């Protein structure tokens, strides 16, 4: 209304000066520039608010979110003050003002915020942290005020007594003050702190702020104190049961073949987030479409796991000699893994994916969070198995073991820093680098000697089976175990190492032959 009134008065003044015989051309250009600048600033300051005029549809229930049972229970308990406000008030409990969801990417933080709005029957508005920050000072603070105002307005319009404002990637705007060269960041954060801490947060409708980040360590301390974000809920990677729950949700409505074993697939996908599991099921369906099949088989899921982990198959065409060496390398990994952890080899492939010319995928027995010195030593043995298999067969090694050496070195350093080496308990901060390097080299040399002795009886068998792997390109774990059982060296070699079944302290995809020189 004000804009139309100002434009009308301006036009009237131009006409008045024109009637008086004055030259209005300079005034006309100045007025046009002023109006253009005004419209540009108005559009910059209101664009995000206009985009969020309609509340986001949030018909997502907690039952639709798998693998986060602990986080869901904690969040639902925190949200009960919105559902049972009278009972909360009778106990004198202060309403929560903010809930911060932290955790790795793809674990379902945004879905949990939408489910919270459904659970509490609240209006749901969402924004990203980057939407509040502009190069113009004061714009971000105005947008913070605007989104809170719209949350209350929409709640009243829909006859709801609560609203949830969800800010994704809040670390963009909520980082520690004073670390940015631009004052706009600090002003935007100050306004957010004011909105969350002011008396307006207790009015009806009540506005609850939910935010998500995978970098809580860089947030400003004033934002994390009680009275602002009263609850911090960890949304972590799902365990085996959680992965199985997510897979069951994702495969609903999809035609599955009879051989599909979701429990086995949940074991294979150790370390996967909810987003990766959704992508896995989708990729398996795409493979079925590509092959013109009406059902999704277990083999398609296996290929989809490889694609999510390593990427699509590349167009690289290694020579026959290179393929033979890659096969020998991967069989070396597989033999050590199977002898030390029976039943853990899922499959072997020499099909190039991503930066790897081949790899062995393992299945951990169960999710594990603590590891003994024997388990770490066994994993070092598995990492060194590839290059030592090459050495036994060819008499030399290749550059393909670079990633294996990095992995083995990291595990050895972990042993030293955790007090599992000859040095005993050490202070990492005051440990001399020369002492650390000497102990790491000792650990690696001892495990290299042990691994070489385990593989030595299999030298000829590895060469013969490598021909079969080159022809087939991919070998299932069961087929590999059947071959290993037919060899005459298994009973002798297993005495050299402990046969305790353990899990991987790192990601289950190991032994990839890299391309780096």
Rounded to the nearest 5°, which phi and psi values hold at 356? -110, 135
Predicted confidence at residue 48, as pLDDT, reads 44
Say what the pLDDT of residue 501 is: 32
Inter-residue contact 163 to 208 (CB < 8 Å): yes
Tokens of 91: 């106990």
What is the structure's pLDDT at 336?
92
514 secondary structure, DSSP code:
B
The yes or no reply on domain 62-234 and CATH 3.90.1570.30 is no
Q: At what angle do helices 69-83 and 109-120 cross, to 10 degrees?
A: 30
Tokens at 191, concatenated:
């306004």
The per-residue pLDDT for 49 is 40
Strand pairing report for 98-102 and 206-213 = parallel
Are the C-beta atoms of 510 and 362 separated by less than 8 Å?
yes
Report the chain's terminal Cα–Cα distance, integer Å: 69
- pLDDT at position 278, please? 92
The C-alpha atoms of residue 448 and residue 384 are separated, in whole angstroms, by 7
Mean pLDDT by 10 residues, the chain (517 residues): 59 65 64 65 48 52 86 89 79 83 90 89 83 63 84 87 88 73 68 71 75 87 85 90 90 91 88 90 93 91 86 77 90 91 86 80 74 91 93 88 91 92 86 90 94 90 89 87 76 38 38 43
Domain 320-510, second-level architecture: Up-down Bundle (1.20)
Q: Please provide the CATH number assigned to the domain covering 240-310.
A: 1.10.8.60
Tell me the DSSP string of 428-446: GGG--HHHHHHHHHHHHHH
- 135: which 2 tokens? 């190069």
Tokens of 335: 């033999």
pLDDT of residue 410: 94
- Report which of 178, 163, 252, 180 is spatially closest to residue 221, judged by C-alpha positions: 178
The residues carrying an active-site annotation are 330
478: DSSP letter: H
Among 126, 123, 124, which residue's Cα sits nearest to residue 157?
A: 123
**pTM value > 0.75:** no
């Amino acid at each position: 209304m004000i804009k139309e009134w100002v434009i009308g008065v301006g036009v009237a003044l131009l006409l008045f000066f024109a009637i008086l015989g004055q030259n209005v051309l300079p005034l006309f250009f100045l007025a046009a520039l002023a109006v253009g600048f005004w419209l540009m600033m108005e559009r910059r300051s209101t664009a995000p608010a206009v985009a969020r005029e309609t509340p986001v549809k949030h018909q997502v229930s907690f039952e639709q979110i798998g693998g986060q049972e602990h986080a869901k229970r904690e969040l639902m308990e925190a949200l009960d003050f919105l559902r049972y406000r009278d009972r909360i008030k009778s106990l004198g409990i202060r309403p929560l003002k903010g809930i911060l969801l932290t955790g790795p990417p793809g674990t379902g933080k945004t879905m949990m915020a939408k489910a919270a709005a459904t659970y509490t029957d609240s209006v749901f508005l969402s924004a990203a942290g980057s939407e509040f920050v502009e190069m113009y000072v004061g714009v971000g603070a105005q947008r913070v005020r605007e989104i809170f105002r719209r949350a209350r307005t929409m709640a009243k319009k829909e006859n709801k007594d609560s609203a949830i404002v969800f800010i994704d990637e809040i670390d963009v705007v909520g980082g520690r003050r004073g670390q940015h060269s631009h004052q706009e960041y600090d002003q935007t954060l100050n306004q957010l702190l004011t909105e969350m801490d002011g008396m307006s947060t207790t009015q009806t409708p009540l506005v609850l702020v939910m935010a998500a980040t995978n970098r809580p360590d860089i947030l400003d301390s004033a934002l994390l104190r009680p009275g602002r974000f009263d609850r911090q809920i960890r949304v972590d990677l799902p365990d085996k049961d959680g992965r199985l729950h997510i897979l069951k949700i994702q495969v609903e409505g999809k035609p599955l073949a009879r051989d599909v074993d979701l429990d086995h697939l949940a074991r294979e996908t150790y370390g996967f987030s909810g987003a990766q599991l959704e992508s896995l099921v989708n990729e398996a369906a795409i493979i079925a479409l590509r092959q013109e099949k009406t059902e999704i088989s277990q083999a398609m899921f296996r290929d989809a796991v490889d694609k999510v982990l390593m990427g699509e198959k590349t167009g690289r065409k290694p020579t026959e000699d290179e393929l033979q060496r890659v096969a020998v390398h991967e069989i070396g990994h597989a033999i050590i893994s199977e002898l030390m952890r029976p039943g853990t080899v899922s499959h072997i492939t020499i099909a190039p994916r991503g930066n790897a010319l081949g790899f062995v995928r393992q299945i951990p027995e169960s999710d594990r969070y603590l590891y003994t010195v024997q388990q770490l030593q066994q994993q070092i043995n598995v990492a060194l198995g590839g290059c030592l298999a090459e050495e036994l067969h060819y008499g030399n090694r290749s550059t393909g073991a670079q990633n294996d050496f990095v992995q083995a070195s990291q595990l050895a350093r972990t042993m030293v820093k955790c007090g599992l080496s000859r040095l005993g308990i050490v202070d990492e901060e005051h440990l001399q680098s020369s002492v650390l390097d000497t102990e790491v080299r000792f650990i690696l040399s001892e495990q290299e000697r042990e691994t070489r002795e385990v593989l030595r009886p299999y030298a000829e068998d590895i060469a013969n089976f490598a021909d079969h792997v080159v022809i087939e390109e991919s070998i299932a774990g069961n087929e590999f175990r059947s071959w290993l059982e037919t060899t005459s060296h298994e009973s002798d070699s297993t005495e050299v190492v402990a046969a305790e079944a353990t899990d991987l302290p790192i990601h289950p995809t190991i032994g990839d032959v890299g391309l780096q020189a």
